[in-house]
Chain A
Amino acid sequence: AQSVTQPDIHITVSEGASLELRCNYSYGATPYLFWYVQSPGQGLQLLLKYFSGDTLVQGIKGFEAEFKRSQSSFNLRKPSVHWSDAAEYFCAVGARSNYQLIWGAGTKLIIKP
């Protein structure tokens, strides 16, 4: 079955500390991978995406993600978080031949001052 797992429902990080949000997927086809961020009461904003090529992808706001096919993972990282990064983060998987995305349940990031 196709699925996306974000194992951490909540993560609390001190401001200035590094961050890694986990995403694991199960998908039969060659995946397209996405990370989105959602601030409270807002729509989703695309952070970065992987379609092909270099497995380390740079995104907006200083985020990056690494596609590891052998581990079926696409973890999101940031070297130093800012209070404005507090939000919910969603991982999603799709395929070239499919109009739909499979979504993770989201990880809520809390920043400690």
Chain B
Amino acid sequence: SQTIHQWPATLVQPVGSPLSLECTVEGTSNPNLYWYRQAAGRGLQLLFYSVGIGQISSEVPQNLSASRPQDRQFILSSKKLLLSDSGFYLCAWTKETGRGQETQYFGPGTRLLVL
């Protein structure tokens, strides 16, 4: 069966510091991968998605970036965090079947607090 991992689970960082959040998927190959942010009391905002290694689509202009160095690894980064980057970051995956949209399955999330 497939599982998705995110770490760290919780992170407290000062303003201006760098960020690296990691997401990995097990039990599948060539997944589509997604990064979402969920601000307190709000819905989901799609940040990035990737359909393959090195292929990243950005949905929201900001100081965050994403990379996919391996098939089942998706990394969210920032060079300098802002206070507004605080939130709950969720990684999700879908299986690429050639039929387009499939069900998204979510990781446990990373709680980021920027002080």
Residues of A within 8 A of B (CB): 32, 34, 36, 41-46, 49, 90, 94-101, 103-106
Q: Which of B51, B90, B99 contacts A44 (CB 8 A)?
A: B90
* B90 proximity list for chain A (CB < 8 A): 43-44
Q: Are B101 and A94 neighbours in the complex by a CB distance under 8 Å?
A: yes
Interface centre among A34, A41, A97, A104 (most CB of B within 10 A): A41
Residues of B within 8 A of A (CB): 6, 32, 42-44, 46, 49, 51, 59, 88, 90, 92, 94, 99-101, 103-109, 111
Given A43-B90, A106-B43: A99 in contact with B101 (beta carbons within 8 A)? yes
Chain A nearest CB, measured from B18 CB (Å): 24
- Count of inter-chain pairs, beta carbons less than 8 A: 54
* B99 proximity list for chain A (CB < 8 A): 96
**Cα–Cα distance between A10 and B105 once the two chains are bound (Å):** 25
Given A90-B44, A100-B49, A105-B42: A49 in contact with B100 (beta carbons within 8 A)? no
Q: Which of A32, A36, A44, A105 contacts B101 (CB 8 A)?
A: A32
* A45 proximity list for chain B (CB < 8 A): 106
**Cα–Cα distance between A97 and B112 once the two chains are bound (Å):** 33
